[in-house]
Amino acid sequence: MPDASTLPLFRVVGFSGHRQLADPIGTARAITAALALLRQEAPGEWIGLSSVATGSDQLFVEQVMNLGLSWHAILPLPRAEFEKDFAPADWVNVERLLTRAGHLLVINENGSREDAYLDCGMETVNGADVLIALWDGEAARGKGGTADVVEYAKSIGKPMLILDAATLEMRKENWTALDQADTGLVELNRLPEVTGGLSVNPFKAPEGIYRFQQKCDAAASHGAPQFRRLIVSTVLLHVLATLIAATALVYALQNQVLPWAKLICLAGALAVAIVLRRHAHSHSNWVRCRLAAEFCRSALATWGLPRAAPLFQDLNLPVIRGLTRSLHILHSRYSAARPVSMAEFKEVYVAQRVDDQLTYYQRQEARALPLFRRLRMGFWITTILALLCALTYAIAYTLRVATPEWLQTTVFHFAPIALPVVAAAFISLISINDLQRRVSRYREMQLMLADSRKQVTFCQTWNSLERVVLRTEHALLQEVLEWHSITSFTESH
């Protein structure tokens, strides 16, 4: 790929069709026309996704390759089981095609054959942006037939190009659902490139991917809106307004400044809320940049593995779907371009990924823990003082103890109003900053990374090393996704 700090847009066209063909030559022309239409109407590099059953599946694969496109194979069964559905002579052609697949996914390792074929068809639909279906319009003759696949695609609103198996006429289904451009990836590609201060690329990944990660990271670091601080300010302004009102009421103050002070506090809280609403788009952009930076960081960290790690296989987050697909496909294509030794990979991974993340979580805990302790202490102090004031008032009132006026106004009336409000503010600040979860999570991540460090150091084979690295990266990505969920929820409020 070029060294520019942009990632290419990849699109996937799935295929499902009948095994028996009345006009193979005409069918090949119809498939080619459908592929040409896709390339004309939607930008990006199209990749074919299909099985290699006899008939239209193999015809689709051949047309994809004739157009110079990549093809990803999806099999309903492991090769040994799948081979049983072919004559020996036909299987030779299947093997020839599979050697040219850019990626191979096996759906079912167990279960019935019919279920496996149905699952394969449904997964083809799930993994595609558009489905091309060669269909005679009739019901499926067995579970997992083309009719079942088309029905499933319709039920989830998948864009389709349906080729009539008899006339080979093409019609569009749900075409308006086709996303003409992945806006998320387009906006990330448009971020300004980092021109200075780039660190050395330690992962042997293509320079363009590394520079893309660096500019996403820079945009997230420099463009982070202070949403939590703004939300905290609204809480503090409301608390201050309540304390002013309580002071004026309890002490019967007739000062003209107090009503205006309360009004200013409430107006300030409203102004901050309006700012939060108006800056929701910048917050969304910041979240997308941070997600992109961290997902790229994970992809870069695994780049030295002999094969592309399935980091994003089970993710279906629309905001980064184009990004994760691009990273995985690029890694699949370039994984063997710059091979590294196991010793070199382990050294770089431990130093640049595990130790780097350990330092990060240690630093984050060191920042969050003191604040959490102070706020928690403030809550307990104000709560206990409120209880003592209420208890003192109850005893004095029950026993009719004579008390000075200042004690009555301050301890019996003002404090029971003010202290619970302040205590609630402390709890709100803990919740807004997500401190309790963050402290606990930072400690868990440090323990996980310390274990991973030991395991990576001990690994002697690529397979064992890959398993440890995948577990580590999945844990780190899970933390990023948790952060995304919490931060997005904060944005919506």
**Three-point CA angle 297, 299, 301, nearest 5°:** 70
What pLDDT, on the 0 to 100 scale, is given for residue 111?
63
Which pair of structure tokens corresponds to residue 391? 């208890």
Which pair of structure tokens corresponds to residue 156? 């989830």
Contact between 146 and 17 (Cβ < 8 Å): yes
- Determine the CATH number of domain 10-177: 3.40.50.450
Q: pLDDT tens digits for 210-248?
A: 999 999 998 888 766 677 788 888 889 999 999 988 888
Contact between 46 and 70 (Cβ < 8 Å): no
What is the distance between the alpha carbons of residues 188 and 6, in angstroms, rounded to a whole number? 8
What pLDDT, on the 0 to 100 scale, is given for residue 493?
46
Q: pLDDT tens digits for 389-444?
A: 999 989 988 988 888 888 888 988 899 999 999 999 999 999 888 888 899 999 99
Environment class of 135 (CB within 10 Å of its CB; exposed 0-12, middle 13-18, buried 19+): buried
What pLDDT, on the 0 to 100 scale, is given for residue 136?
87
Contact between 11 and 131 (Cβ < 8 Å): no
**Phi/psi at 467 (5° precision):** -60, -45
What is the distance between the alpha carbons of residues 354 and 360, in angstroms, rounded to a whole number? 10
pTM of the entire structure? 0.82
Residues of the chain with CATH 3.40.50.450: 10-177
If DSSP codes are grouped into helix, strand and coil, which group holds residue 239? helix
Query: How many CB atoms lie under 10 A from the CB of residue 137?
Result: 11
**Stretches in the chain below the pLDDT threshold 70:** 1-3, 109-111, 140-142, 196-199, 223-225, 280-281, 336-338, 488-493
For 18, 311, 348, 369, 474, the CA distances from 314, given in Å and listed in that order, are 29, 8, 27, 33, 10
